[in-house]
Structure formats: structure tokens, C-alpha cells
Amino acid sequence: MSELPAVTDRATWQAELDALLVREKSHTRAGDAIAAARRRLPMVEVDAGLSLTGPDGPVPLAEVFEGRSQLIAYFQMWHDDTPAAGQCVGCTFFNGQVRELSYLHACDVTYATFCHGPYAESVRYRDFMGWDVPWYSVRDAAGALHAGRWEVLMVCYLRVGDRVFETYRTGGRGIEVMAPTLALLDMTALGRQETWQDSPSGRPQRWDASTGEQLRVGGRPTAQWPRVAAGYRDDLVVTPM
């Protein structure tokens, strides 16, 4: 690196940090205001009987809530007849960081993955990755669930009795909330080291984020390597009975 942060005494450093804290608090309050506006959005009804495929076969959307009033669904992209190394690097990064669900459950919220792939094949990917989130195939219901917006990756639903409503949806950088890794990197002096970020001249900017290369090592999603090292099978082939 040709440029490191300036070295100074602690009092000067603290003064600079305190000035930044004012901006950070303003950012937090702006986020609170946006969340308040999000809670005031109207909602649109979704067919509660849409059929998804789970571990026990077809299941209506309303049952995916597992008796809770709210549902957060992440839509996992899928490449048919493709081994684990070729599956979506972005979905693997984001979906793999949602692990401890008990806090959501305590707030009456269910989290589930809605995968575009067939259930038997795609759930093998979940198991290969060591995830234990509820997993459903939405291959036959995806058109109705996306309602023409295929770039959507996360959707929030509300169940009122037997009826289901969509309350929020987002994609792109809107799903960064799922990845604390990114927020942690943003706290560091070097940041994410991605080419789009505003960093001082000379700081490393190693990755073009549009290609997903920052999420991949050795030709496969980074998080897969511990599973490979443990000997887990990653061809995802389903053997006919």
C-alpha cells in the first residue's frame, strides 16, 4: 500500500472519531426514519394457497409461516444440473449468513429460503453448505410470487388469519442487511477493497464487485471450501429410487 492512514496522537485521533460519530448517529436516525416509513407501507394480498414444495411435498404458502404471523423469504437463484461450485455465489454469500433464527422466532417471524430449483436437488445444496434454514422449492409458484419483478431477492409477508399479504420486497444492495460481513468490513481502514468504493489513493481495491469475484476463491463460493475439506459430496445428483 502506498498510502496508510495518518499516524497521530490519541487526542487528535479521538477528536476525529468524535466528529465522525456525529455523522454516524445521523445515519442511524435516518435509517430509523426509513424503517418507520417502511412500517407504514400499504400491503398487497398474495394467494395464500400457492403451492411450494417442502420436505413433506407440496405445501401452501400460508403453512410456511409455521404458525407465526410474519415471514421473511430469501429467493435463492438456481442453476439446473450444476454442481455446488457453479451455484449462485451471491446467494451463497447472503443466505449463508442467516443462521440463528431463534431471535426472529421470538418476534413471531419465520425465515425461509424459497429456491428456484427443484426441491430434491436444491435441498442437497443446503445440506452440503451445512445450513439448517427451512427450505422450499418455488419453481412452480415463482411467477406469481415475483409478480413480474425477477430481480427481487428478499420479501416480507404478513399472515392475517388465512390470508397472506406482501409488505416489503427488495433486491440489489437492499439485501446487504443479511450480510454482517459487509458491515464489519466497512468498519475497517481498508473497507471492502472493491473498485467502486471511495477509498484514499493507494489503498487496495482488489475486486470488481459486479463479477462476484470478492465472494469466490479457487473457482467456487468461498464458504464451500470447509465443506469440501470435510469430504462432503458436492455434485448434488439425486439418485432415482
CATH at residue 65: 3.40.30.10
Task: Summarize the confidence of residues 147-164 as an average pLDDT.
Answer: 94
Whether 129 is covered by a domain: the verdict is: yes
Cell representation of residue 10 = 490519541
Number of domains the chain is built from: 1
Phi, psi of 185 (to 5 degrees): -60, -35
Residue written as grid cell 426472529: 104
Whether 192 is covered by a domain: the verdict is: no
Residues pairing with 109 in the sheet: 70
Task: Summarize the confidence of residues 131-157 as an average pLDDT.
Answer: 94
CB 157 within 8 Å of CB 71: yes
Task: Summarize the confidence of residues 146-158 as an average pLDDT.
Answer: 93
Higher-confidence residue of 3 and 239: namely: 3
Q: Grade residue 240 by pLDDT with cuts at 50, 70 and 90.
A: low
Whether 186 is covered by a domain: the verdict is: no
Task: Summarize the confidence of residues 223-231 as an average pLDDT.
Answer: 94
Q: Grade residue 3 by pLDDT with cuts at 50, 70 and 90.
A: confident
Whether 98 is covered by a domain: the verdict is: yes
DSSP state of 133: S
Question: CA-to-CA distance for 2 and 73, rounded, in angstroms?
Answer: 44
Burial of 196 (0-12, 13-18, 19+ CB in 10 A): exposed
Q: Grade residue 89 by pLDDT with cuts at 50, 70 and 90.
A: very high
Q: pTM higher than 0.85, yes or no?
A: yes
Whether 7 is covered by a domain: the verdict is: no
Whether 195 is covered by a domain: the verdict is: no
Whether 93 is covered by a domain: the verdict is: yes
CA nearest to 164, candidates 36, 53, 38, 52: 52
Whether 114 is covered by a domain: the verdict is: yes
Residue written as grid cell 429467493: 75
- Angle (CA) 214-219-222 rounded to 5° is 50
Structural domain containing residue 122: 44-176
CA nearest to 217, candidates 85, 63, 87: 85
- Return mean pLDDT, the chain: 94
